[in-house]
Amino acid sequence: PFAMPRWLVTYQDSTPTEIVQGFTTALAAAYTEGPDSYLYYGNSDLAALDVGTPLAAAGWSHRYGAADVSFESPDGLAEV
């Protein structure tokens, strides 16, 4: 209970409702499958970047930071 979180999601008041709804729906579906479906993502350090593949295919731009990778929607209204 006192360990660092494995992942974190935050939203701002300007986050489109569809993004929050899509995330919570996917999380609820994963929860029914058990912790391995939402707490573990393969052995590769690059495996987590696979989540950006659909975003890149939809025209989202990406940026690499010192501790994270972020994607921005083509209209600039959303960032992951």
Q: What is the mean pLDDT of each run of 10 residues along the chain (80 residues)?
A: 76 85 86 74 53 84 82 87
Position 63 scores a pLDDT of 86
Residue 76: left if φ>0, alpha if ψ -120 to 50, beta else—which one? left
Per-residue model confidence (pLDDT) at position 48? 52
Kindly report each contact of residues 18-27 with a partner whose C-beta sits within 8 Å and lies 24 or more positions away, as own/partner. Answer: 19/78, 19/80
pLDDT at 78: 82
At 40, phi and psi to the nearest 5?
-130, 135
Q: Give the pTM.
A: 0.51
